[in-house]
Structure 1
Amino acid sequence: MKRERRTCLLVINSLAGGGAERVFTTLVTDLARFRGECDFVVALLDDEEVEAYILPDWVKVYRLDSKASLNASVRRLCGLFRELRPDVCISFLTRANFAAIVAGRLYGCKTIISERVNTTAHLAGRGKNAISRALVRILYPRADGIIAVSQGVKDTLVKDFFVSADRVTVIPNPFDIDRIATLALQPAPFEIAQGDWATMGRLVPTKNAALAIRAFVAASTKGRLFVLGDGPLRGELEALVRDLDASDRVRICGFVENPYAVLGRCDAYILPSEAEGFPNAMVEAMALGKPVVATDCPSGPSEIFETESASDEPSRGRGGMLVKCGAVNMMARAITALDDSDLRRDLGKLARERAMEFSVERTTLGFWQVITANFAAANRSSVQ
């Protein structure tokens, strides 16, 4: 018997913090526009004591308490599928994707996974990552569809993990431009002057904050660099600043509750990463009209700038300058070039215009179109 109301289940590991969790919360909140068309339900695989993001009151939330275990995640999500019998499931993050694909195949639910990272770079190495890579190759091609945050993420899935290109839809992350602008007006946690720059991210090897520090010190600009974020490399980076005798030019700030108040007052932003899925902080800085110097890492920066990196000199794009990964001197030249106030103003204007193209409304509509297409496919399957 055909049901009058369809159900879409949205699954993520938890809301403990991070870019994917922020995007998930933004998406669920804006899907309220389509509540008249179907029922939305959320499943959190883990039951965390502290959640960094708050979901809207109208959505029913199931906390499955899987304790970060893949086996428990699969078992408990299967139990929820038996109870809810959702028509479509959309999952975020690798463990949630694995569990959703298995449960979807077992219970006849159209399953769409959302890939937020460059999978090859994110799962590099041995041990658990090697096991995860094998599971990606086995399971991802069995999803009914994949939403990739960038063309680079899509290309990696097709090339390295045997996913059919026609099953992958590219939908960039959403950005609440008005909210970012409002938060940027709040008081900054420390003094910021003209000529100062910022970089932001977890202090881990792939984010490569050391590159930003070395390049900024090598540049001829007279301002300071604020490094926002915390992580296991903090002590090593603080030692690097001392070794470079740059304590007056570089400040390791740690976690900042409202980074937009810093970004909004700095002249420009650095993205030094070795790998990204879609660099949220880069677009957030651009939304505040800040030009960006970014590495041409997989994936995202070249797509956002709509340019390609050159071999020897920084490439100018829509909102900033693109340099080779790990290229200290090239990045230093790009930073120095942005001492030119006219260039900085022109690129900042382009940056904001480009960031406006990644609106919450556009991204949510893209997800809704994928959901409705799979509702239709589920209906055809039930008729047959």
Structure 2
Amino acid sequence: MFVINSLAGGGAERIMTTLLRASGPWRERYDILLVLLDKEPDAYAVPDWIEVIQLDCRGRFLPSIVALRSLYARIRPDVTLSFLSRANVSNIVATKGLPTGCIISERVNSTAHFGGRLRSLASRLLLRLTYPRADHVIAVSDGVAQDLHDNFAVPQDRVSIIFNPVDHDLIEELGAREPAIAIDGEYIAATGRLVPNKNFTMLIDAFAQSGLPGKLVILGEGPERSKLEAQIAELGLEGRVHLPGFIDNPFSVLKRATLFALPSNAEGFPNGMVEAMACGLPVVTTNCPSGPSEILLNRPRDESEGMIQCAAGVVVPTNDTAAFAQALRLVYEPALRRAKGATAASITHKFDIMQTTGSYWEIIDRLAATRRKSVTAHRPKIAASSQTS
């Protein structure tokens, strides 16, 4: 049983459906179900052979826990696997005392993601109280795994690192289609929710400082839209910086871009960046926790490093507008961006969808087998009857 808040637009939701699409080889051994905690419009399709159970928890923790507990008690799944913090916490609490194996997948660097606000501190405490109780935790990068151990007391022997899958065939197919928006001339692309952690304010400032021709297109929707629109107007960039909102098929837009920009202050695993790389785009990215350094530099993040050129693009310190603008100018050079784009595309093949999906199912298989043995071992033995008919 897979569990997620909803299939509204977002990176975790897209990865969940990618994982489910690739899970066909395991259909003969498992009944595969998907539980959606909330009633929201779906942005991504689920294979028709997967049963979908949609709850109505309205974004709240307690109803999510109660609804999952009732569902688990009735269906008794061998294993559950959840994405996103609320689904993870609810999954852990709901499986307590049941013979169900509980796997959670942490998609973000939680310490960096939550920050230091009072409400965020409460969320971090909740994760620290529950995450160590999961049977297994899947982290999407080395940085996320280290954060789970250092700051949330998750034992290292219960954590596996599995990078997010990339469906190259689907990206190629969707990338060849006509884009949903028409953009004349060359443009830099970025994707993500319009929220503070994505730091699109810095990207817009850096684009303005770069002096580059062409346009900047930021795909995504979120609460920072009005703030970003005001910033664009203040800088006189109307007509050059576009915020078209969430687009079902971002790949047709990415395929036609010149480069990809990731200005984030925090990531778990930068899906948008890797998918852009699969489209053949070089990247300019901040060295945020976590993921960019592991993917592009093949080493853990080092905050002390300045701007670093690599084979697929340029990595710069977080929140450094001048360095980001300089990196944009550097990668924009036609010959350099072609070479870096080709290397970027080749890097993404280590995130092949079937290899990644297989890694998930290895953990599911192992936990399911362990749980079945435990249930068998604790089942009461029935004494042979001495009666005769």
TM value normalised by structure 2: 0.91
1:357 aligns with 2:350: yes
- Check whether the contact 2:32–2:51 (CA below 8 A) recurs between aligned residues: yes
The alignment partner of 2:124 has SS state of helix
Q: Which residue of 2 aligns with 1:107?
A: 98
Distance 2:16 2:288 in 1: 24
Distance 2:334 2:306 in 1: 20
Q: Which residue of 2 aligns with 1:369?
A: 362
Q: CA deviation at 1:117?
A: 1.1
**Residues 252-304 of structure 1, C-alpha deviations (whole Å, 9 max, x = no match):** 33333432222111110100001111111111110111000000011111111
Q: CA deviation at 1:336?
A: 1.1
Q: 1:211 aligns with which of 176, 191, 202?
A: 202
Distance 1:206 1:218 in 2: 21
1:63 aligns with 2:54: yes
Aligned-partner residue type, residue 360 of structure 2: F
- Check whether the contact 2:143–2:290 (CA below 8 A) recurs between aligned residues: yes
**Residues 46-74 of structure 1, C-alpha deviations (whole Å, 9 max, x = no match):** 233x2222222222222232222211111
Q: Which residue of 1 aligns with 2:147?
A: 156
Distance 1:215 1:366 in 2: 39
Distance 1:169 1:125 in 2: 27
Q: 1:46 to 1:227 in 2, by over 3 A?
A: closer
Q: CA deviation at 1:122?
A: 2.2
The alignment partner of 1:106 has SS state of coil
The alignment partner of 2:351 has SS state of coil
Q: Which residue of 1 aligns with 2:384?
A: none
Q: 2:3 aligns with which of 3, 8, 11?
A: 11
- Check whether the contact 1:312–1:330 (CA below 8 A) recurs between aligned residues: no
Q: CA deviation at 1:186?
A: 2.0
Distance 1:47 1:235 in 2: 26
Q: 1:295 aligns with which of 271, 286, 292?
A: 286
Distance 2:126 2:246 in 1: 34
Aligned pair count? Answer: 374
Q: Taking every aligned residue pair, what percent have the same amino acid on both sides?
A: 43
Task: Name structure 2 gaps, 5 residues minimum.
Answer: 378-389
1:339 aligns with 2:332: yes
Aligned-partner residue type, residue 110 of structure 1: G
Q: CA deviation at 1:248?
A: 5.2
**Residues 92-127 of structure 1, C-alpha deviations (whole Å, 9 max, x = no match):** 111111111112222121100011111112222444
Q: Which residue of 1 aligns with 2:382?
A: none
Q: Which residue of 1 aligns with 2:44?
A: 53
- Check whether the contact 1:318–1:354 (CA below 8 A) recurs between aligned residues: no
Q: Which residue of 1 aligns with 2:190?
A: 199
Q: Which residue of 1 aligns with 2:17?
A: 25
The alignment partner of 1:11 has SS state of strand
- Check whether the contact 1:192–1:265 (CA below 8 A) recurs between aligned residues: no
The alignment partner of 2:58 has SS state of coil
**Residues 196-243 of structure 1, C-alpha deviations (whole Å, 9 max, x = no match):** 211121211111111111112212432221222222222222222232
Distance 1:39 1:227 in 2: 39
Q: CA deviation at 1:81?
A: 1.3
Aligned-partner residue type, residue 296 of structure 1: N
- Correspondences of 1:219-368 after superposition (within 5 Å): 219-247=210-238, 249-307=240-298, 313-368=306-361
Q: Which residue of 1 aligns with 2:30?
A: 38
1:380 aligns with 2:367: no
Q: 1:68 to 1:253 in 2, by over 3 A?
A: closer
- Check whether the contact 2:106–2:140 (CA below 8 A) recurs between aligned residues: yes
Deviates further, 288-297 or 302-311: 302-311
Aligned-partner residue type, residue 172 of structure 2: A
1:134 aligns with 2:125: yes
Q: CA deviation at 1:311?
A: 5.4
Q: Which residue of 1 aligns with 2:113?
A: 122
Distance 2:342 2:92 in 1: 43
Aligned-partner residue type, residue 39 of structure 1: D
Aligned-partner residue type, residue 21 of structure 1: E
Q: Which residue of 2 aligns with 1:5?
A: none
Distance 2:242 2:54 in 1: 39
The alignment partner of 1:375 has SS state of helix
Aligned-partner residue type, residue 58 of structure 1: W
1:85 aligns with 2:76: yes
Distance 1:217 1:309 in 2: 28
Aligned-partner residue type, residue 10 of structure 1: F
Task: Name structure 1 gaps, 5 residues minimum.
Answer: 1-8
The alignment partner of 1:356 has SS state of helix
The alignment partner of 2:23 has SS state of helix
Q: CA deviation at 1:142?
A: 0.6
Deviates further, 22-31 or 214-223: 214-223
Q: CA deviation at 1:312?
A: 7.1
TM value normalised by structure 1: 0.92
Q: 1:99 to 1:230 in 2, by over 3 A?
A: closer
- Check whether the contact 1:318–1:351 (CA below 8 A) recurs between aligned residues: yes
Q: CA deviation at 1:322?
A: 0.4
Give the greater-gyration-radius structure (CA). Answer: 2
